[in-house]
Structure 1
Amino acid sequence: MGLGDFFRSQLSQVIEWKDQQPDFLIHKFPSENDEIKNASKLIVAPGQGAILVYEGKVTDHLAEEGIFDLESDNHPFITTLLKLRTNFESEHKLKIYFYRTSEVVNQGWGTSQAIKYVDPVYRIPVELGANGTFSFRITDPQYLFSNVVGSRDQYLVAEARELLQGRFPQSLASVLAQGSFSYQHIDAQLPSLSKDIREQLQPELHNLGFSLTDFKLNGTIFDQATTERIGKIADITAESMAAGEGGLSYIDMEKLKALRDAARNEGGLAGAGLQLGVGMELGKTFDVAKEKQLNAEAPDIVTKLQQLKLLLTEDIITQEEFDNKKKEWLDKF
């Protein structure tokens, strides 16, 4: 340090956070030895606050903008020159940490691991990823400084974002389970889910010194296994509706299809007959079941023709059998 630098370091200062960067939440005022002199001036600008750490303890917290007088036991020249024993270094350290009071907006978030829950309607395991945006601000700077940031010189928005969004998946899974939301209804309930998740997150984030000012769940995506399960449900639903339109239950139709396949490949599906409670030869069993459906009564001709068409489409009956039975019903009217 030159003589000019020494003289400058002995003078009172005007301390402020100039050129505040948007990616900083907490910023320590740079001082070579933190021996800020008595009667220095501290400027706290709009959107800022300041925490003062003197002799290793938090002694003040300034949350309002303005100009403040600083008091310390570091007097120009005198204090430094009297510290020969400690190599002219004063133990009266004053560290000033500025923090951001303005809102941090429009931060993107996404789940790094799948959220798992059981669908309350179809009782299938569901795994999904989610994404959205959130906004936050510091509400308890002293707690954040003492318990999260510590004595670091800077704390970045990116670090806070990672800290906060790590709490999101658990709350999302909890809200989905508590709200009994089926996978079919999630996209239609995004505003309601966003509100519920935000309310559940607030107490935990408050304990870290933050507050959510906004939270949005923008979308979800299912993993491959869940997509396959959903596809199977869709297929079963479609087949059930088709069977219903044909005057058959889904179970009846599945039994007929199983018997049809088993009769065509008796060696490979011999167990199907036993599972369906029949003890006779599979081909004969299929014929009996088919005849039962062919000759089953129906409330009207339209319903019967729908049933016959379904049996033909599923290859349960032949075109000839369909034509004969159709003619038989038409002849009745």
Structure 2
Amino acid sequence: MDLFNEIKKKLSHEFIDIIEWLDNTNDTIVHRFERYQNEIKNNAKLIVREGQTAVFVNEGQLADVFTPGTYTLSTQNLPILTTLKGWKYGFDSPFKAEVYFVNTRLFTDEKWGTKNPFMLSDERFGLVEIRAFGTYSFRINDPGKFVIDVVGTDGNFTNYEVNEHLKSLIVTRFTDTVGEANLPVELYAANTSELSETCQEVMQPEFQRVGIELEKFYIENVSMPEELKKEIFEYSRLDKLDMVKLSQFKAAKAMEAAAKNEGGTAGAGMGMGMGFVLAQQMGNMMNPQAVQQPFGNQAVQGAAIPPPMPVQILYHYAVNGQQMGPVSFDRLKELFAARAINRDSLIWKPGMQQWTALKEVEELKGFLGGTTPPPLPAE
């Protein structure tokens, strides 16, 4: 009799009557309730706490899913499992099923980044190497799909395991999105918020396919080689320069260098004098409003009235696809001497039908040198 009671007592302890999971970790996403070959007792209690979902799986097939609450397991609360088990009229004996608790809280501050630089094509700088990194947040929004498609039979599935898959997905979609955005490379850093939102929209369907919701996606930094940064900086400075003033400055430098090369005190004095004259000319060109005033306020009496000034022809020229000018003939000659323009630079003046290369404009051919005079007339 005593032996019979011991066996009955032992068997009764093998039947599970309370199913619950107390999460004492910070990284577990899915925990399988361990039964150790024990069976779940009819009318057992299932306790699902806030931030959890319980998923019942029968022989690899998804059955019932329970949200937070306390349940008495019966045919009424297990409709899908009842159908799979073939319980038409209820059950009184214990049953076996795998129970997975899914952590549905928000997992924050997950890191992502490009392990290797990826190549992008930029209109001005050609192929460039880019690196990027940031953070993202996610939660499980379809526990059944996640358990079947991702977890499988893993008894303790952590966010580290899923992060490796998610980071690969993120880098792939990020690279595609940035490439299709076709932004100038120097604008990436200034548009990280817009890029983050766009990437999140693109990645969301990929996450949802496995039962995950991408809550937030952040790009913290987009980096590039130091050489490219310097090149972008120099380009931005050049883009803001006034090309006319830059040409004038180059012409002044060229003339000053020519004067110094003559050597001696005379050369130094010539260079200084030319510098003063050129500085005055540049000042007048940059401030055309300035007008020379006569000495004092007295007019010179008895002086002959000079004839009207001849009409000066002004020329327009093109530099890097931009229209410059108008400038005088002498100024255009200075620009040619300073190599700010060349024989193939496009020129236009009033009366011309279209832009023409400098070498084709008759009065400008003298800039090219090597002009041979015609033969003297016969006596």
TM-superposed CA distance for 1:18, in Å, is 1.3
CA distance in 2, matches of 1:129, 1:329: 49
Q: Per-residue CA shift, 1:259-295, capped at 9, x if unaligned? A: xxxxxxxxxxxxxxxxxxxxxxxxxxxxxxxxxxxxx
Conserved? CA contact 1:55–1:92, under 8 Å: no
Conserved? CA contact 1:10–1:37, under 8 Å: no
Q: Which residue of 1 aligns with 2:227?
A: 228
Look up the equivalent residue of 2:61 and give its one-letter code. Answer: K
Corresponding residue to 1:60 among 61, 64, 74 = 64
CA distance in 1, matches of 2:219, 2:22: 36
Tell me whether 1:244 sits opposite 2:243 in the alignment: yes
TM-superposed CA distance for 1:102, in Å, is 1.5
Q: Which residue of 2 aligns with 1:87?
A: none
Tell me whether 1:195 sits opposite 2:138 in the alignment: no
Tell me whether 1:157 sits opposite 2:162 in the alignment: no
Corresponding residue to 1:326 among 275, 299, 307 = 275
Q: Which residue of 1 aligns with 2:105?
A: 102
TM-superposed CA distance for 1:152, in Å, is 1.2
Conserved? CA contact 2:259–2:271, under 8 Å: yes
Q: Which residue of 2 aligns with 1:75?
A: none
Look up the equivalent residue of 1:197 and give its one-letter code. Answer: C
Gaps of 5+ in 1: 73-89, 249-302
Conserved? CA contact 1:14–1:40, under 8 Å: yes
Q: 1:150 and 1:175, CA in 2 relative to 1: closer, same or farther beyond 3 A?
A: same
CA distance in 2, matches of 1:316, 1:100: 80
Look up the equivalent residue of 2:44 and give its one-letter code. Answer: S
Three-state SS of the structure 2 residue aligned to 1:30 is coil
Conserved? CA contact 2:41–2:94, under 8 Å: no
Corresponding residue to 1:18 among 11, 15, 22 = 22
Q: Per-residue CA shift, 1:66-100, capped at 9, x if unaligned? A: 1112249xxxxxxxxxxxxxxxxx99531110001
- Which structure has the highest helix share of the two? 1
Q: 1:150 and 1:322, CA in 2 relative to 1: closer, same or farther beyond 3 A?
A: farther
Three-state SS of the structure 2 residue aligned to 1:37 is strand
Rg larger in structure: 2
CA distance in 1, matches of 2:222, 2:73: 52
Three-state SS of the structure 1 residue aligned to 2:160 is helix
Q: Which residue of 1 aligns with 2:326?
A: none
**Paired residues for 1:173-184 under 5 Å:** 173-184=175-186
Work out the number of aligned pairs and report it.
Answer: 253
CA distance in 1, matches of 2:151, 2:97: 18
TM-superposed CA distance for 1:50, in Å, is 0.7
Q: Which residue of 2 aligns with 1:31?
A: 35
Q: 1:242 and 1:192, CA in 2 relative to 1: closer, same or farther beyond 3 A?
A: closer
Look up the equivalent residue of 2:73 and give its one-letter code. Answer: L
CA RMSD in angstroms comes to 3.2
Q: 1:244 and 1:169, CA in 2 relative to 1: closer, same or farther beyond 3 A?
A: same
Q: 1:245 and 1:142, CA in 2 relative to 1: closer, same or farther beyond 3 A?
A: same
CA distance in 2, matches of 1:16, 1:316: 92
Three-state SS of the structure 1 residue aligned to 2:221 is strand
Q: Which residue of 2 aligns with 1:311?
A: 254
TM-superposed CA distance for 1:180, in Å, is 2.2
Three-state SS of the structure 2 residue aligned to 1:40 is strand
Corresponding residue to 1:46 among 50, 53, 56 = 50
Three-state SS of the structure 1 residue aligned to 2:42 is coil
TM-superposed CA distance for 1:311, in Å, is 3.5
Look up the equivalent residue of 2:32 and give its one-letter code. Answer: K
Q: 1:218 and 1:232, CA in 2 relative to 1: closer, same or farther beyond 3 A?
A: closer
Three-state SS of the structure 2 residue aligned to 1:212 is strand
CA distance in 2, matches of 1:96, 1:22: 20
Look up the equivalent residue of 1:307 and give its one-letter code. Answer: K
Conserved? CA contact 1:55–1:91, under 8 Å: no
Q: 1:144 and 1:317, CA in 2 relative to 1: closer, same or farther beyond 3 A?
A: farther
CA distance in 2, matches of 1:316, 1:208: 75
TM-superposed CA distance for 1:326, in Å, is 2.3
Tell me whether 1:148 sits opposite 2:150 in the alignment: yes
TM-score, length basis structure 1: 0.66
Q: 1:61 and 1:330, CA in 2 relative to 1: closer, same or farther beyond 3 A?
A: closer
Conserved? CA contact 2:43–2:73, under 8 Å: yes
TM-score, length basis structure 2: 0.59
**Paired residues for 1:116-127 under 5 Å:** 116-120=119-123, 122-127=124-129
Q: Per-residue CA shift, 1:154-191, capped at 9, x if unaligned? A: 21111122211211222222222222212211111111
Gaps of 5+ in 2: 1-5, 76-92, 262-267, 282-291, 293-379
Residue identity (%)? 25
Three-state SS of the structure 2 residue aligned to 1:113 is coil
Q: 1:230 and 1:96, CA in 2 relative to 1: closer, same or farther beyond 3 A?
A: same
Higher relative contact order (CA 8 A, sep 6+): 1
Q: Per-residue CA shift, 1:95-151, capped at 9, x if unaligned? A: 11000112112212222122321124x142122211111111112222221121111
